[in-house]
Amino acid sequence: MGEGLDCGIPRGIEFALEKMKKNEVAQVSLKPEYGFGRAGSVDRGVAPDTALTYQVKLVSFEKAKESWQLDADAKLEQAKIFKNKGTKHFKDAKFEIAATRYQKVIDFLEHEISLKGDSETERKELLQAGRLNLALCHLKLGKWIEARAVCDKAIEESESVAKAWFRRGEAQLALNDCDAAKLDFEKSLSLEPDNKAAKNKITLCLQRIKQQKEKEKKTFANMFDKFAEIDKKKEAKERLGKPDAMNNIDQWSSGGDTGISTDPNSIKVGGDIKMDLDLNEAIKEDAALHAEEQ
């Protein structure tokens, strides 16, 4: 169980077998992700992203002991076997199978607290190796979030392991969190000053951060230009929609239909009562009146 892919048995079939009884026959339908996934299987004529149906008969099985059924020393020995199997599959580039073996190492040792002395030291080393190797498998499979989570656990267990920081940095970088990745690579480099890979990754992070800032700067600049243009058009539209008071006022007029006479001797008085007073006429009338009196 967990190594079926090594002989062409999809993980989905293994999940089904865990629920079956001896001599039981079952028809098992698998979604692509539980079959041969995006890659498919050329040897079996299975196209990428293909759903599958199997008919399975469980002839016999031997039930392995759970970790809680073993004493501490037995757990330690079993964990070594799983680690060795994981390493074999990893070297064969069978990362998914290797990941299941390394996960078993973690399952067997993570909560074991009864070992002492050299055995406890060996437990911690095996557990750390299981986590780091599992993180590497996740990175190979493009499971960035899972890789980061495993590294978090490894760092929580021991902050002095450079590989944990480095692999978490790789996960952070793949998730485009360049600032966090840079910090992780710097921590890894502080623990291993001669680590050229960490130095290269820091340089890569700085380049990515610079590119991101330039992109953000350009994006915001374009955004502000667009906002300014929108505001400009809006103001122009509002001006067109409102009358311009100055366009309706003649420089020689006080408003209304009646203007000021161009004759300085003629005065027009506006209001409810309109009166026209011609000074020339008034002078003449006054002169005539005085002549009559004399």
User: Boundaries of CATH 1.25.40.10 in the chain?
Assistant: 65-141, 156-216
pLDDT at residue 280 is higher than 90: no
Per-residue pLDDT tens over the stretch 51-87: 999 999 999 998 877 777 889 999 999 999 999 999 9
Q: Which of 133-137, 175-179, 203-207, 270-274 has the lowest mean pLDDT?
A: 270-274
Tokens of 142: 């493009």
Q: Which of 178-187, 226-235, 238-247, 285-294 has the lowest mean pLDDT?
A: 285-294
Q: Which of 55-64, 211-220, 242-251 has the lowest mean pLDDT?
A: 242-251
Query: pTM for this one?
Result: 0.66
Three-state SS string over 71-125 comes to: CHHHHHHHHHHHHHHHHHHHHCCCHHHHHHHHHHHHHHHCCCCCCCHHHHHHHHH
* Superfamily in which the 156-216 domain is placed by CATH: Tetratricopeptide repeat domain (1.25.40.10)
β-pair partners for 25: 57
User: Boundaries of CATH 3.10.50.40 in the chain?
Assistant: 1-63
Fold of 1-63: Chitinase A; domain 3 (3.10.50)
Q: Return the CATH number of 65-141, one of 1.10.10.410, 1.25.40.10, 2.70.150.10, 3.40.50.2000.
A: 1.25.40.10
Task: Tell me how crowded residue 97 is: count the other CB atoms within 10 A of its CB.
Answer: 20
User: What is the residue-wise DSSP string for 152-205?
Assistant: HHHHHH-TT-HHHHHHHHHHHHHTT-HHHHHHHHHHHHHHSTT-HHHHHHHHHH
Highest mean pLDDT among 10-24, 161-175, 239-253: 161-175
Q: Pick the more confident residue, 231 or 54.
A: 54
For residues 195 and 202, what is the distance between their CA atoms, to the nearest angstrom? 11
Band (124; pLDDT cuts 50, 70, 90): very high
pLDDT at residue 255 is higher than 60: no
Mean pLDDT value across residues 230-236: 76
Q: Which of 96-110, 263-277, 280-294 has the lowest mean pLDDT?
A: 263-277
